[in-house]
Structure 1
Amino acid sequence: MKKILLPTDFSNNSWNAIKYALNFFKEDVCHFYLIHTYTPVVYQVEYMEVGAAQFGLIDAMKEAAQTGLKKIQKQIDEEFINSKHTFTSIASFNTLTAEISHRINEDKIDYVVMGTKGATGAVEILFGSNTMHVIKNAKCPVLAIPSEFEFEKPVEVLFPSDYQIEFKEEHIQPIVDLATKYKSRVNVLNATFGYELSTFQKSNKKLLDDHFKGITSLFHDVSNQTVEDAISKFQLKHRINLLIMINNKHSFFENLFFRSTINHIGFHLNIPFLVIPSQIHKTS
């Protein structure tokens, strides 16, 4: 049984991500955890005396969270009838990123599926940055769904790699699983500025090719392009349904996604994005 974490802020975008997850894992036996976190906007325990008024506020937020989760569960029950899927709803007085980390460890979560944006304005920036914090720190794969993206089978998958990681089964198995299930073609993309692959990179490319023997895969090499440009140009030529990357520290992944300016957060993606951590917790 797969265990899938579905964070929600009750926005249309988070509901869209939930719908994507229910479709994506439609044929899998899954237990889904619907979670909503709440904290007072100015909650700072070291500076704030938690009196009756604060407890009243927290109780009201908890009640609103539980009501919202019941509403989502009702929507799921009405729109998605699937005997393979079961659900648990969790309203937690916590920050989103801390609660997700806790749930991954406590419940041995296999995937987190969440939206890349909130509603509008400041909320959009906050939830977008939350998504990137989750992607950066989660010890399980994170599937981020752009706002308003309707589910489509991931038949064409783009997997950029600089071959700077020694590929292990836990990195590649999620890709092989989805490619097998959806009969996907995995397009491996390497972008360089004219330099040759090192011996280490060549060895890792061979490892990747070996892992992909049982699925359809194509290896693409482009030169004199940044990774960002290479991904964008590839998407223009091919109808890619899913982007996959491995979050390998000290690699192009961090340079691409974790720049200092908020404008770069999220890479302005318009397709679902699966991020596989370089270190994954053991679910067994």
Structure 2
Amino acid sequence: MKKFLLPIDFSETSDNAFIYALEMAKLFKAKLVLLHTFDFPIIDSQSMPINYSVIYETIELSNFEHFKQIMPKLHKIAEERNLDSIEMSHILMDGDLLVSIKKVIEQENIDFVVMGTKGATGWLDSIIGTNTGSVISNVTVPVLSVPIDATYEKVETIAFTTRFRKKDIEALIKVLLFAKKIHAKVKCLYVKTSDSDVSEETIKRWKSHFEEEENLKIFVIPSDDVKETIEDFITTQDVDILSMLTYKRNFFMKLFSNTTTQELSYHLRTPILAFHE
């Protein structure tokens, strides 16, 4: 991974994600691309004659000036964390955020995206909605979603949720490679419900692929409350990042699509690393 992308909107949320992006870029010795997007307003051209080029230039200049004023703040954050040596570039682009991100990923050969999520339920929002959820579902590179309440600390433990499918093997290999790069260990979790159709033979065969992995532990926890089990696992195992495959998105949507979502405890401040099939 040589080049990371961070969409920014000058908010506290993106400032926090900026810290994670800097720290990850340092670990991978990567360059960091900052992207700010803005919308071109809809104007009724029948009410008055319009010089679109003038309007566009005015809006673009306004956003550029704001962007230029904010950059010293970001550089100060980098300096305070002794990360001002990270090579950064900046892109200002008009249009839809997702479209812009996909365009920049292709044009700049981006390997990794970091995005901030808002609110105490940012851990949830990153999966079932918001711009971050849209990006996770529609780009081809790994995406790290960072809740606003997350506080960066050295990443020592990465959790990976599995259902012991064949496709999970390849995904876990990617997680292990990621973890080795940053000297972290991986804890793989399967929540075995009473109606689970995963046999012991399947689990044994799946585990055999990773017998030589010293930094990997696999946990099979019987429980019919998958949500609570995952939450407890994140807390009790001191998980710094939760990794998952994007195909699980519908599973998590179903899991958290009830009224209790607003009551999720504030300790769920764990960033999610989404890999793609």
What is the identity, as a one-letter code, of the residue corresponding to 2:221? V
- Paired residue for 1:213? 212
Alignment of 1:223 onto 2:225: no
What is the identity, as a one-letter code, of the residue corresponding to 2:34? L
What is the identity, as a one-letter code, of the residue corresponding to 1:247? T
- Paired residue for 1:32? 32
Cα distance change on mapping 1:162 and 1:77 into 2, 3 Å: closer
- Paired residue for 2:192? 192
Q: Is the 8 A contact 1:30 1:84 kept in 2?
A: no
Distance 2:27 2:105 in 1: 22
Number of residue pairs aligned between Structure 1 and Structure 2: 266
Alignment of 1:95 onto 2:99: no
Q: Normalising to structure 2: TM-score of the pair?
A: 0.78
Quote the offset at 1:65 in angstroms: 4.5
Three-state SS of the structure 2 residue aligned to 1:27 is: helix
Distance 1:45 1:204 in 2: 62
Q: Is the 8 A contact 1:65 1:91 kept in 2?
A: no
What is the identity, as a one-letter code, of the residue corresponding to 2:18? I
Quote the offset at 1:252 in angstroms: 2.3
Q: Normalising to structure 1: TM-score of the pair?
A: 0.76
Three-state SS of the structure 1 residue aligned to 2:242 is: strand
Render the CA deviation track for 1:43-98: whole Å, top value 9, x for unaligned.
Answer: 48999999347436523443245324533553356335558731110010022111
Within 5 Å, give how 1:27-106 maps onto structure 2: 27-40=27-40, 43=42, 51-52=50-51, 54-55=55-56, 58-68=59-69, 70-72=71-73, 74-75=75-76, 78-79=79-80, 81=82, 85-106=86-107
Q: Is the 8 A contact 1:165 1:248 kept in 2?
A: no
Three-state SS of the structure 2 residue aligned to 1:214 is: coil
Identity of aligned residues (%): 26
Cα distance change on mapping 1:272 and 1:161 into 2, 3 Å: same
**Which segment drifts farther, 103-112 or 224-233?**
224-233
**RMSD over equivalenced CA pairs, Å:** 3.8
Alignment of 1:152 onto 2:153: yes
Distance 2:50 2:189 in 1: 56
- Paired residue for 2:254? 255
Cα distance change on mapping 1:260 and 1:89 into 2, 3 Å: farther
Distance 2:68 2:106 in 1: 26
Three-state SS of the structure 1 residue aligned to 2:56 is: helix
Q: Is the 8 A contact 1:140 1:276 kept in 2?
A: yes
Render the CA deviation track for 1:210-258: whole Å, top value 9, x for unaligned.
Answer: 257334222222233243222112234332211111112686245347x
Render the CA deviation track for 1:140-199: whole Å, top value 9, x for unaligned.
Answer: 111111114221122222211122352464x33441133223443322111232235446
Three-state SS of the structure 1 residue aligned to 2:273 is: strand
Distance 1:118 1:196 in 2: 33
- Paired residue for 1:272? 271
What is the identity, as a one-letter code, of the residue corresponding to 1:273? I
Three-state SS of the structure 1 residue aligned to 2:274 is: strand
Cα distance change on mapping 1:205 and 1:188 into 2, 3 Å: farther
Contiguous gaps of at least 5 residues in structure 2: none
Contiguous gaps of at least 5 residues in structure 1: 279-284
What is the identity, as a one-letter code, of the residue corresponding to 1:140? V
Quote the offset at 1:37 in angstroms: 0.4
